[in-house]
Amino acid sequence: MENRELTMDDYLAMLRRRVKVILIPALLAPLAGFAVSYVFPAKYTSQSLVLVEAPKIPDAVVQQVFTEDLTQHINTISAHVMSPARLRPMVDRLGLAKGAQSVDDVVANIQSQGPTLIQPVVTDLTQIGPGSKKRPGQGSAAPAFYVNYTASTASEAQQICTDLTSMLLEEDLKSRAAETQGTTAFLTQQVADAKQNLDDLDKKLAAFKNQHMGQLPGDEDANMKILMGYQTQLDANTQTLNRATQDKAYTESLLAQQLAAWKAAQSTNNPQTLQTQLSQLQTQLIDLQARYTPDHPDVIKTQADIAQVKKRLAETNDPSAAANATDTTPEKGTGSEPPEIRQLRLQIHAYEDLIKQGTGDQKKLQQAIGVYQSRVAASPAVEEEYKELARDYDNAQKVYQDDLAKQSTSKMATQAEQQQQGEQMALLNPATLPDSPSFPNRLLFAGGGLGAGLALGLGLAVWLEFRDKSIRTQADAEAVLELPMLVSVPWVGDQVAKGNGNGHFWNRKKLPGERDEHKETTRV
């Protein structure tokens, strides 16, 4: 076998030679395995089926808050159920601690079956895996799962399986209710915080508007229009002041000329001049009395002027009285002014009032222009700060609205869970009472023995073939001698060997003159 390449005929020849070595272990090993199965103590497995019911209310109506992956959720609740704090009351209630076993030993035995406790009923294999997630609106990948428990007796397995299933269903309800209520409480607190933040920003925004009234982003165009209007008014006011100043100066020059001429006329004591002046004043008095009452200031002043002119006329006619009047009466600065001079004085007074009012208006316009210029200059900085506050306020309002919507959804989902309208676990098949042990599986033991026997027989056959140095065929001789074969002479006797010199398939008789059943005489 080591010196040449084997063919199919060679393998068949090996099988014929070693068939007994292969068959004997293959037949004896299953019997041994079947017998060994009785050495192990019997174990009974009870099984219950739990159905995961879909929500009774569609997600389009009430969005589910509990969106944990089903596999992860089952692992979580099973970990809670398999905790010692939950198992000890069950062990005490069922009286499982018997003989030398303590409660902790029984709890440890139950916990050791934790990895095999849950078996999902898979409907779509592609949806089961560590990274699989249940999308909203999609059913569970495993709509049901088995709860298994193995014990030394069938009744004990059924009792423990029943209690574990009940504890799983109870833990499922508690975990779902706790999660939905916790979500609702968290969202309620979030809504309160968001509302408080929104109120604070609202107050800040209102205070900012009051502080920067007229400087907000929407007021910039209005400020520019008002500023342009004030500037136009200021230009018009400046022009009015300039004209009033010019008119006042011109009127003052006319007044000075009139006063000079009148004073020159007053300085003369010509009776004719005084008589003419008296006639003019009397005519003016008649005209004033026709229009005004006797108490009118112009009437009274004109009467006083007439009396003054008459007095001066009398002094002119009487030189001694004039001298006495000159010594005793102080000289009047103005005397009886003609209407033209008084009119000029009134115009000058009006111009002064106009200039005074125009100057005040000019100062007010300049102050208003300065205020609006400062508003326009500060508008970019105020606008940036206002936009930041408005953006924070909009974001806070959006967060508040989102939290409020989530809180409403969570409250509806919590109410649905309390009324058991959401996704629920329901017991479909109660724990079974096993009528046969689940371990040991005697057929499996026999099958294992058959496999082990075949492996042992094949191993022995191969080992024997490797140790066999017999030369049986021409190819064996050529491989061993490393010389070409000229001719080979077969055994000749009463019974001719067939095949490759080994007789029939199962066995052949030794031919006369044959010295070894594994050797063939070959002439080279």
Is pLDDT of 476 > 70? yes
**Measured distance CA(505)–CA(460) in Å, rounded:** 19
With 70 as the cut, is the pLDDT of residue 331 above it? no
Mean pLDDT of the chain: 76
pLDDT at 80 over 80: yes
Task: Return the pLDDT at 336.
Answer: 60
Percent of the chain past pLDDT 70, that is, above it, reads 77
Q: Is the pLDDT of residue 274 over 80?
A: no
Residue 190 has pLDDT above 80, yes or no: yes
CA distances from 308 to 35, 303, 319 (A): 167, 9, 16
Q: Calculate what percentage of the chain has a pLDDT beyond 90.
A: 3
pLDDT of residue 422: 59
State the residue for tokens 């490393």. Answer: 482
Bridge partners (DSSP) listed for residue 439: 43
How far is 444 from 37, CA to CA, in rounded Å? 9
Q: What is the number of alpha carbons within 13 Å of residue 52 lying toward its C-beta?
A: 20
Residue 328 has pLDDT above 60, yes or no: no
Q: Which of 333, 311, 332 shows the shortest CA–CA distance to 322?
A: 311
Predicted local confidence at residue 521, as pLDDT: 38
> Is the pTM for the entire model greater than 0.75?
no
Cβ-based neighbours of 28, under 8 Å, separated by 6 or more: 453
Q: Got the DSSP string for 66-110?
A: ----HHHHHHHHHHHHTSHHHHHHHHHHHT---TT--HHHHHHHH
Q: Is the pLDDT of residue 24 over 80?
A: yes
Amino acid at 84: P
- Would you say residue 276 has pLDDT above 60? yes
* Range among 338-342, 369-373, 401-405 rated most confident: 401-405
| HSE-CB of 15 using CA atoms within 13 angstroms | 6
187 neighbors 403 (Cβ within 8 angstroms): yes
| pLDDT exceeds cutoff 60 at 522 | no
- Please say if the pLDDT value at position 269 is more than 70: no
* pLDDT tens profile 5-15: 778 888 888 88
Q: Is the pLDDT of residue 266 over 70?
A: no
Q: Using an 8 Å Cβ cutoff, are 227 and 372 in contact? A: yes
Q: How many CB atoms lie within 10 A of CB 369?
A: 18
Tens digits of residue pLDDT in 195-254: 888 888 888 888 877 877 766 776 777 778 887 888 888 888 889 889 888 888 888 888
pLDDT digits over 44-54, tens only? 889 999 888 77
More confident residue, 403 or 511: 403
Provide the pLDDT confidence category of residue 56 given band limits of 50, 70 and 90: low
pLDDT at position 122:
62
Q: How many C-beta neighbours within 10 Å does residue 160 have? A: 23
pLDDT level of residue 455 (50, 70, 90 thresholds): very high
φ/ψ of residue 111, rounded to 5: -65, -30
Residue 326 has pLDDT above 80, yes or no: no
CB 488 within 8 A of CB 474: yes
pLDDT at 358 over 50: yes
| pLDDT at res. 113 | 82
| 437 has pLDDT over 70 | yes
CA angle (23, 29, 34) in 5-degree steps: 140
Q: What is the DSSP letter of 501?
A: T
Q: Quick one: pLDDT at residue 142?
A: 53
pLDDT (0 to 100) of residue 516: 44
- Please write the tens of the pLDDT for every residue from 97-144: 877 778 888 888 888 887 778 887 765 544 444 444 444 444 444 578
Contacts 24+ apart (CB under 8 A), 117-126: 117/78, 117/82, 117/147, 117/148, 117/149, 117/164, 118/74, 118/75, 118/78, 118/145, 118/146, 118/147, 118/148, 119/145, 119/146, 119/148, 120/71, 120/74, 120/144, 120/145, 120/146, 121/49, 121/145, 121/146
CA dihedral 372, 378, 380, 386 (to 10 degrees): -100
Closest CA to 46 of 167, 153, 170, 166: 153
Average pLDDT over residues 454-480: 83
The pLDDT assigned to 494 comes to: 55
In the predicted model, what is the mean pLDDT of residues 74-101? Answer: 85
Position 524 scores a pLDDT of: 37
What is the pLDDT averaged over residues 279-303? 83
**What pLDDT does 251 receive?**
85
Enter the tokens of residue 301: 């002043």
pLDDT at 179: 78
Residue range 160-182, pLDDT digits in tens? 999 999 998 888 888 887 877 77
